[in-house]
A and B are shown apart, each in its own frame.
Chain A
Amino acid sequence: AQSVTQLGSHVSVSEGALVLLRCNYSSSVPPYLFWYVQYPNQGLQLLLKYTSAATLVKGINGFEAEFKKSETSFHLTKPSAHMSDAAEYFCAVSEAGGTSYGKLTFGQGTILTVHP
């Protein structure tokens, strides 16, 4: 069974500082990995995804994530935080094949706060 663990339910950074949101996954087969962002009172929006091409994935709004198979990690980073990055971020895993392809398993989410 696949699972996702996001380390830290709350992360606080200063504007201009590095953003690092941690995600570790468990999957019995090579996974597909996603990061979604949720702004207040909105649905989830895709930031980026890994689908077994390049291990360093670039997404929207300056975010990127690196797939590290040896560490079973898919951490999300942004070099310089902006106030508009304040939101909740979800890591998710999907398995290929079988009947449940396309089904996502989400982590518990990390709330990012950005201070002026």
Chain B
Amino acid sequence: DARVTQTPRDKVTEMGQEVTMRCQPILGHNTVFWYRQTMMQGLELLAYFRNRAPLDDSGMPKDRFSAEMPDATLATLKIQPSEPRDSAVYFCASGLAHSGGETQYFGPGTRLLVL
């Protein structure tokens, strides 16, 4: 049963520290999405990639967030420096998009707490 995996599942850090979250998309999927979920803002799209190329990162605070896909099996989301307002659950999702209507498969999320 193919699944999206995310590490770590939980992360507690202090303000100013660097945080790196990792995602392994489902093998063969060509599109990877990063979302952030908070009580106040709901589910927000931060960035997404197709065939490892960044397509849209307009949802990300550019000064502190960065997203990359070093290879087809790994996507990373980095926050440097982290701030308390970054506390949220971060989800990665992958899909096989070719025209629209394709399902996105979500990972279990990384719960981040910045103190």
Residues of A near any B CB (own CB < 8 A): 32, 34, 36, 42-46, 49, 51-52, 90, 94-97, 99-104, 106, 108-109
Contacts and interface: CB of A to CB of B under 8 A. Distances in A.
A13 to B, nearest CB: 22
Given A43-B107, A49-B103, A102 B97 contact: yes
Contacts, number: 61
A101 B99 CA distance: 6
B28 interface: no
A42 B100 contact: no
B11 interface: no
B interface bracket (residues with beta carbon within 8 Å of A): 20 to 34
A90 B102 CA distance: 16
A96 B93 CA distance: 19
B97 A101 contact: yes
Contacts of A102: 31, 50, 95, 97, 100, 102, 104
Nearest to A109: B42
A108 B103 CA distance: 19
A96 B106 contact: no
A46 B103 CA distance: 7
Contact of A106 (B43, B101, B102, B107): B43
Contacts of B109: 42-43
Contacts of B101: 32, 49, 51-52, 94, 96
Nearest to B37: A38
